[in-house]
Chains A and B, each alone.
Chain A
Amino acid sequence: LASADGLVRIGLKKRPIDENNRIAARLVEKEEGPLLAARRYGLR
């Protein structure tokens, strides 16, 4: 929150990387994989 020095501070919460998120990330990779692979080789 705003303080005497005129700065506006917003606290951030940190979410640890966990196994559930990793599984979800792999699902997303599968979902988006071909698109990303295509981009990797510079194809539109």
Chain B
Amino acid sequence: GAPLKEGEETDIIALKNYMNAQYFGEIGIGTPPQKFTVIFDTGSSNLWVPSSKCYFSIACLFHTKYKSGRSSSYHKNGKSASIHYGTGAISGFFSTDHVKVGDLVVKTQDFIEATKEPSVTFVVAKFDGILGLGFQEISVGNAVPVWYNMVDQGLIKEPVFSFWFNRNANDGEGGEIVFGGADPNHYKGNHTYVPVTQKGYWQFEMGDVLVGGQSTGFCNGGCAAIADSGTSLLAGPTTIIAEINQKIGASGVVSQECKAVVAEYGQQILQMLLAEVQPGKICSSIGLCTFDGKQGVSAGIESVVNKDTRRSAAGLSDAMCNVCEMAVVWMQNQISQNQTQELIFNYLNQLCEKLPSPMGESSVDCSSVASMPDISFTIGGKKFSLKPEQYILQVGEGYAAQCISGFTALDVPPPRGPLWILGDVFMGAYHTVFDYGNMRVGFADAA
């Protein structure tokens, strides 16, 4: 409830995991240009690179540093800045200089010279900095993003940029970002466009998510989604990720809270669903959540997981409310498939065991990839499917091969959520157009 300070309202950025970011490009800053490898990140809006004045962060030892004294186009700004990412933070000060992107020169661009990069993320990162392609609304210090200046300075034909990620592991080419339009060589058919619903991020409305053609239910009424080139995996609500994990055999984290809710309240939830009680009111009716008219919120009650040692930790009771709401969705789905009571409870217990750790990775059996289901996302009324070979990432070769699910859990409560982050795993399959002029995002099959 405390008021947010500048930059803190960008709590979605705080959930990004740059550790897994896979695609980088090169830019130049200053005159003559000093080269930096950056992530072109549609999920943030600032440009930052390490500063030559970064003395005490190990990360700075391993990366190229900007030397303002060597640039004839440098202008001092000096305003301090800090950005908090989930996987680390950077802080420093603003400077102004020319930025070379391809053969375009964006003049008088404000950017952050990072003087502190304390997190392990940036020590091992293969990139020097980040070039944000999001909107100014989420820009720390309200700095004008590079992309805005590109448009304002008339450097490109159309206010559009597009991404193509090359998913062909045997091909040396990593991908391409195109400013000013889209390269027809990199997509097939027409793009399906959806309007940007929350300016700041490239956020749009998404519908149901299907596993093997079957609805998961949770996003039937709509979920928000952000197209984010700076995130590697696909992140979405735990309710759905657990269902996906169950179908693809991904190992998750056993949740005691989940099993306790199924054991103690499962029968009650089932009876209420069969009696057609409004699903959103069930968890509050049994005392695990408080109903606020739209959704359940934690009642802050005591846990009954262990009756001998009753605890009143708010975190645990929140978890119970959360798990209860997931159980309702799962059960609704099972009832709609006419499953027996026994099968429903078996399935729920299986899902409890497949609960993913937040923003963590899940392993799967490489030999089962071929039999895993397609997973589809409904965008603009059209189904965008991912085949297992598109959503499973392989690390290593032969006997040393390990397979990782491209899905990870991320729960953002309303009104911002439920939210999906469509990272490189999705953008690798679908060529993505970011249309700034018409405030829309478009997807077409990648070529």
Q: Which residues of A contact B (CB under 8 A)?
A: 1-2, 5-22, 24-25, 27-29, 31-33, 35-44
Contacting B180 at CB < 8 Å: which of A7, A12, A16, A31?
A: A7
Kindly state whether residue B212 has any CB partner on chain A within 8 Å: no
Bound together, the chains give a CA A16 to CA B14 distance in angstroms of 24
Known contacts A8-B102, A29-B360, A13 near B23 by CB under 8 Å: yes
Roughly how many angstroms separate A44 CA and B22 CA in the complex, as a whole number?
29
- Residues of B near A5 (CB, < 8 A) are 181
Which of A7, A12, A14, A22 touches B395 (beta carbons < 8 Å)? Answer: A22
Contact of A42 among B15, B322, B357 (CB under 8 A): B322
Closest to B155 in A: A8
Query: A35 to B15, alpha carbons, bound, how many Å?
Result: 10
Q: Can you give 8 A-B contacts (C-beta < 8 A)?
A: A7-B182, A14-B166, A15-B22, A21-B124, A28-B119, A28-B120, A40-B322, A41-B319
In the complex the two chains form, is B120's CB within 8 Å of A31's CB?
yes
Please give, as numbers and ranges, the residues of chain B lying within 8 Å of A2 by CB-CB distance: 102-104
Determine the residue in chain A with the shortest Cβ distance to B238.
A40
Q: B residues engaging A (CB < 8 A)?
A: 1, 11, 14-15, 17, 19-20, 22-26, 37, 40, 86-88, 101-104, 119-121, 124, 126, 155-157, 165-166, 169, 173-183, 232, 238, 297-298, 314-315, 318-319, 322, 357-361, 393, 395-396, 404, 409-413
Known: A17-B22, A19-B395. A7 touches B121 (CB 8 A): no
A20 to B26 CA separation, bound complex (whole angstroms)? 23
Q: Which residues of chain B have C-beta atoms less than 8 A from A41's C-beta?
A: 298, 315, 318-319, 322, 411
Instruction: Tell me which residues across on chain B come within 8 A of A9, comparing CB atoms.
Output: 102, 176-178, 183
B411 & A40 in contact (Cβ 8 Å cutoff): yes
Measured between alpha carbons, how far is A33 from B360 in the docked complex, in Å?
9
In the complex, what residue of chain B is closest to A24 when comparing beta carbons? B124
Smallest beta-carbon distance B38→chain A, Å: 10
List 13 additional contacts besides A12-B174, A25-B361, A39-B358; criterion CB under 8 Å: A5-B181, A7-B157, A7-B182, A11-B175, A13-B25, A14-B23, A14-B174, A15-B126, A22-B361, A28-B87, A28-B88, A39-B14, A40-B411
| Contact assessment for B409 and A40 in the assembled complex, using a CB-CB cutoff below 8 Å | yes
Complex interface: chain B residues within 8 A of A31 (CB): 119-120
Q: List, in ascending order, chain A residues with CB within 8 A of B169's CB.
A: 16
Point out the residues of chain A lying under 8 angstroms from B88, CB to CB: 28
Residue in chain B with minimal CB distance to A11: B176
- How distant is the Cα of A1 from the Cα of B105 in the complex, in angstroms? 12
Chain A residue contacts of B157, Cβ below 8 A: 6-7
CA distance A16 to B396 in the complex (A): 9
Given the contacts A18-B395, A24-B120, A8 and B156 also touching, CB distance less than 8 Å: yes
**Of A6, A18, A28, which contacts B121 at CB under 8 A?**
A28
For A18, list chain B residues within 8 Å (CB).
395-396
Residue pair B19, A28 in contact (C-beta under 8 Å)? yes
Contacting pair A13 B24 (CB below 8 A): yes
A1 to B232, CA, bound (A): 25
Cβ–Cβ contact B176 & A39, under 8 A: no
Contact across chains for B15 and A10 when beta carbons are under 8 A apart? no
The residues of B that contact A16 with a CB separation of less than 8 Å are 22, 169, 395
Chain B residue numbers with a CB within 8 Å of A39 are: 11, 14-15, 358, 411-412
Measured between beta carbons, the chain B residues less than 8 angstroms from A24 are 19, 120-121, 124
- Min CB gap B114→A, angstroms: 18
User: Do B103 and A1 touch (CB < 8 A)?
Assistant: yes
In the complex with contacts A15-B22, A19-B396, A40-B238, A10-B102 CB distance below 8 A: yes
| Interface contact B86-A32, CB-CB below 8 Å | yes
Q: Tell me the complex Cα distance, A18–B103, Å.
A: 32
Alpha-carbon distance between A42 and B102 when the two chains are bound, in angstroms: 42
Instruction: Output the least CB separation between A5 and chain B (Å).
Output: 8
Which residues of A are found within 8 Å of B15, using beta-carbon distances? 36, 39
In the complex, the answer to whether B121 meets A10 with C-beta atoms within 8 Å is: no
Whole-angstrom CA separation of A12 from B396 in the bound complex: 22
Distance from B130 Cβ to chain A, minimum over Cβ atoms (Å): 14
Q: Would you call B19 and A21 a contact (CB within 8 A)?
A: yes
**CB-based nearest A residue for B2:** A44
CB-contact partner of B20 in A13, A21, A43, under 8 A: A21
